[in-house]
Each structure stands twice: as structure tokens, then as C-alpha cells.
A = this chain, B = another copy of it.
Amino acid sequence: MDRRILFINPNASSSCTAGIADAIAPFGPGLEVTSLADGPPAIVTWRDWFRVAEPLCRVIEATPADAYVIACVSDPGLEAARTATDRPVLGMFRCAVAAALARAERFGVIGFTAASLPRHRRILAGMGVEARMAGWVPLNLPMEALTDAVAPQRRIAEAAQRLADEGAEVVILGCAGMAGHVAVAREAAGVPVIEPCRAAAAAAVLAAMEEVVAPVSA
């Protein structure tokens, strides 16, 4: 399969982009990561969330691929991006939630900062599964700390354990760049942990495959 799956990080952080690349490396060749050169340092505000939609569409229009992933866990611009190509476009948070629902009936989310909650809730409302979120716990750490190999481990473990206590049967890491902390969260929670970059990679591989098998022009 000479597939090409393009992950587009809507922020300009190269460490974040590198973290995404690391996370999806186990899926083998054909998955690439790019970023918005003039994107914000991170998608922190609703204005960021709206603003990156158009640049994301332009990258998609300019870059042929078999499938695209908006590589940010608030899925910014997804609906617009889907009109910019007839190939599948996926959002990382939606993919993570879907992967969680395949594993268990109640999920918890470890968020980046409290500001992410309204965007996560909006996505869950769109998917119709708000009532299945057992808990949502923010880390409230600076981005640098988050991507550090050790610094955020205690906070992540606490959050994971608390979510399990609140009834989560599976835990979603609600931020890109935490792939290195899956084991810590898994150990603390005692339940499966979903890393959104990988969940999106798996979903994109599937989507690209189906569409290759069954191309349509509409």
C-alpha cells in the first residue's frame, strides 16, 4: 500500500510536531506530519480554534494524500477541512473517543488545561456521547512540562487514577504529545489508555484503505 496519510499540526510548535511523529511511528511508512508555519504556539483559545481552519484547508488543497488528520485534540476546522478534499479527513479527538467506545462504555479524559473542556464537550455533544464521559481532569501544566519525559508523570498518574475512581473504564489522553506517558497513565488507572495520535493513525489507515478499495468522485 503506497498510501500517504498526512497529519497536520495546526500549531507551530516543532516539539509538538515531533511528538506526533514519534507517536505514530509504529504505524510504519506512509504517515507524515506537517504543521502550520504561521499557526499559533498552541490552540488555546476559541479564536485560535476558528482561525486555523482556513490555513488547514489550504494545506489540504495543496497537498495530495489518501487521508488527512487534523492533529490537535480539539479538532479545529474539521468541518471546513472535509469540504476541501474528497478524501477522508479525521479529527484526533473524535478518533480517540471512538477508539475508547470500542473498548468500554464509559471514558475519562485527561485535558491539557481547563480551557479545553468546552471544546471537548462540544465535540462529544456532536457525537452524541456526552453522557458517557465519566470524568474530565485537566493537567494545567505548561506545554514544555507536558512534553518533558519525566516532569508531568505524577500529575498524569493522579489524573488517570482519579478518572478510574470516577468510573472511567478507559482513559483518553486529551492532548497531543503525551504518547510517552501512556505507560504511566495505564499503570495508574488500571484501565486501557487511548493516545489520540495513534487512535487517529489507526482510523486514518482504515479510512484510506476503504476509500482506496472503493473510490467515488462525489
Say yes or no: is A216 at the interface (Cβ < 8 Å to chain B): yes
Given contacts A53-B50, A80-B50, A203-B102, contact A198 B216 (CB under 8 A): no
Given contacts A1-B26, A26-B1, contact A193 B218 (CB under 8 A): no
Say yes or no: is A14 at the interface (Cβ < 8 Å to chain B): no
Give per-residue flags for A14-29: 1 if the beta carbon is below 8 A from chain B beta carbons, else 0.
Answer: 0000000000001000
A168 to chain B, nearest CB (A): 14
Contacts of A46 in B (CB 8 A): 53, 79-80, 82-83
A164 to chain B, nearest CB (A): 11
Q: In this complex, what residue of B is CB-closest to A89?
A: B103
Say yes or no: is A195 at the interface (Cβ < 8 Å to chain B): yes
Say yes or no: is A145 at the interface (Cβ < 8 Å to chain B): no
Cβ contact of A90, chosen from B57, B102, B125, B132, cutoff 8 A: B102
Say yes or no: is A120 at the interface (Cβ < 8 Å to chain B): no
B-binding residues in A (CB < 8 A):
1, 26, 45-47, 49-51, 53-54, 57, 77, 79-80, 82-84, 88, 90-91, 94-95, 97-99, 101-103, 105, 118, 121-122, 125-132, 182-183, 185-187, 190, 192-195, 198-199, 201-203, 205-207, 209-211, 213-214, 216, 218
Contacts of A185 in B (CB 8 A): 214
A94–B190 alpha-carbon span in the complex (Å) = 22
A93–B105 alpha-carbon span in the complex (Å) = 14
A206–B203 alpha-carbon span in the complex (Å) = 9
